[in-house]
Amino acid sequence: LLLKEKVLASAICYEKEVDTLLEYVERYDELVATKLASDSEMDSHRQYIEEQFQAIVETLLV
């Protein structure tokens, strides 16, 4: 996510066109999908973090 933000910021700073910006985002999403196979340890860790984050958000909303 941080990398995605950096790519977006870089593209904006260098006045890239919107199409180029969207291409960067698509490439990043493809990279994440490739690297985070559903059976990988990294994906399991990501899911755990997302679950913990969601639990915290739900606690704060109650």
Residue whose C-alpha is closest to residue 25's, from 1, 49, 45:
1
Running DSSP on this structure, what letter comes out for residue 36?
Answer: S
Q: What is the pTM of this model?
A: 0.40
pLDDT of 18 > 60? The answer is yes
Instruction: Domain count for the chain, please give it.
Output: 1
Confidence of residue 31 (pLDDT cuts 50, 70, 90): confident
pLDDT tens-digit map of 38-49: 677 777 777 788
Instruction: Identify the domain containing residue 29 by its residue range.
Output: 2-61
